[in-house]
Structure 1
Amino acid sequence: MGNGASKIPHTENTSIVIVGAGYGGTALGRKLLHSGNMKIINPYDFLFHNIGALRGAVQPDFVPSLMIPLSRTFGDSFIKGRLTQVNKERNSITLEDGQEITYTYLVLATGVSSAFPAKLSNDYPQATAEDTVKYYTDINSNIRESGTIVCVGGGPVGVELVGELKTDYPDKKINLDSPK
């Protein structure tokens, strides 16, 4: 294991819990998967490639390719759940369903939040893979039915979304409005 993972003292009683299965949590989980007692916890049962999320808003048939099932990657080491409490004195965490999990090492890899459609994040906390496809299909329906689209925010996400929209809908009137 590279990148510092080999520096963690490991015994057969060592348990590592990773909360968050985005890019960072998943990468660490894959490095540690066969090294002993490791659990990875995520509220969704899939890794969502949010880098392609805006393309999914324009082409909803692309959305299934953005989801990698975590149970296929991590098997029994994956737990679908949402963290509600960390008890540092007991070296344990509690999930929303009441399940308590003890750890030797805890990694919080919860990532960042952004609004839909750039990410699922807090907008859809209980989304399944099927729900996710529906959310992107619904937004695409709104896009297709719109004559004019106003995108508020001229940062990287806004510019990317306008680029995706213009690529598939070159005849639509699209305004990019950046507040001052």
Structure 2
Amino acid sequence: MGSGASKEELRTRDVVVIGAGYGGIQAALSLKKAGIPFKIIDPKEYFHHCVGALRASVFPEYANKVAIPLKEAFGTSFVQGKAISLDTENKSLKLEDGQELKYTHCIIAVGSLGPIPCRSTQTSISGLTEEYKNISEEISKARSIMIVGAGAVGVEMAGEIREKYSETKITIVSSQETLVADFTPKFQKNIKSILEDQNIQVCM
């Protein structure tokens, strides 16, 4: 898109970006920088920086660092809504609320789905914050926690919980001999030593 086009020609484009995940956000930022008119559409009012989701589920006050308001970032270029149909012949997009958007180019970046807390279906920041608060409260009540899976997410979750709750019994269950990923023997030795020092049991 835009290859060989002048700045004037680019400004006549009207791009629609469906999805405000990592891919959609990067596309929107590039369009904004290039001065190309666009609309970025997402059911959520925020960009979910899910890299910090595990910490926010243990420390709910961290939620404001993982939910970035899209209206503040993109102003009127952000449209909160759910796309329900795409007419590629007539170059129009219909939203669930009946709104119809015309476009010259369309970028589909709907991302991926996953379980809570790494992904969330909450559409508002207040809803996401409440979700993290509820998860945190359940964790705080637990005397013993079992985490199934010793990949990066499982090990990080164990570490986040241990940082806040020193007395909670934490067990990681894994079907694999390696932790986090198939890294070097030195890495495996170090990570197992760290977990042992933190009194986190690993069952393989």
- TM tier relative to shorter chain: 0.7 to 0.9
Dislocated runs of 4+, deviation >6 Å? none
Task: Report the TM-score when normalising by structure 1.
Answer: 0.87
Point out which structure has higher relative CO (alpha carbons under 8 A, 6+ apart): 1
Unaligned runs of 5+ in 2: 177-204
Instruction: Summarize the Cα distance change of 1:163–1:7 in structure 2 as closer, same or farther, 3 Å threshold.
Output: farther
Number of residue-to-residue matches in the alignment: 172
Task: Tell me the equivalent position of 2:200.
Answer: none
Task: Tell me the equivalent position of 1:30.
Answer: 29
Aligned with residue 178 of structure 1, among 174, 197, 203: 174
Aligned with residue 126 of structure 2, among 112, 127, 130: 130
Task: Tell me the equivalent position of 1:78.
Answer: 78
Alignment RMSD (CA, Å) = 1.8
Unaligned runs of 5+ in 1: none
- Identity of matched residues, %: 34
Aligned with residue 141 of structure 2, among 142, 145, 149: 145
How many angstroms apart in 2 are the aligned matches of 1:43 and 1:95? Answer: 10
How many angstroms apart in 2 are the aligned matches of 1:136 and 1:80? Answer: 22
Task: Tell me the equivalent position of 1:99.
Answer: 99
In the TM superposition, what is the alpha-carbon distance from 1:21 to its structure 2 partner? 1.2
1:36-80 Cα distance to aligned partner (Å, 9 max, x none): 321000111111110000000110000012111111111111000
Instruction: Summarize the Cα distance change of 1:17–1:8 in structure 2 as closer, same or farther, 3 Å threshold.
Output: farther
How many angstroms apart in 2 are the aligned matches of 1:31 and 1:84? Answer: 25
Confirm or deny: 8 A CA contact 1:152 1:179 kept in the other structure: no
**Which of 1 and 2 has greater Rg?**
2
How many angstroms apart in 1 are the aligned matches of 2:3 and 2:155? Answer: 41
How many angstroms apart in 2 are the aligned matches of 1:70 and 1:167? Answer: 31
